[in-house]
Amino acid sequence: MSVFRLSATPDVADSKSCGDNVTRMVTWVRFADRSTGRRFVVANTHFDPIEL
C-alpha cells in the first residue's frame, strides 16, 4: 500500500494544490490474482467537498 498527494509535490506530506482547503490524497495497493497471476491496482481518493 502506498499514498501520494494530488499536488505539485505528491511525495510531501500535507502538500496541497493552489486553492485546496484540505490535502487531496490517493491511497493505492497492487494485487495479484493467485489463480492467474494477473496484477491489478486499486486506488481510492477523497476530494474536498467544498470545491465540488
Of the pLDDT bands very low, low, confident and very high (cuts 50, 70, 90), residue 10 is confident
pLDDT tens digits for range 13-45: 888 887 777 788 899 999 999 999 999 999 999
pLDDT at 24: 86
pTM above 0.85, yes or no: no
CA-to-CA separations, 4 to 32, 34, 37, 38, in angstroms, rounded: 21, 27, 26, 24
Chain centre to alpha carbon of residue 35: 28
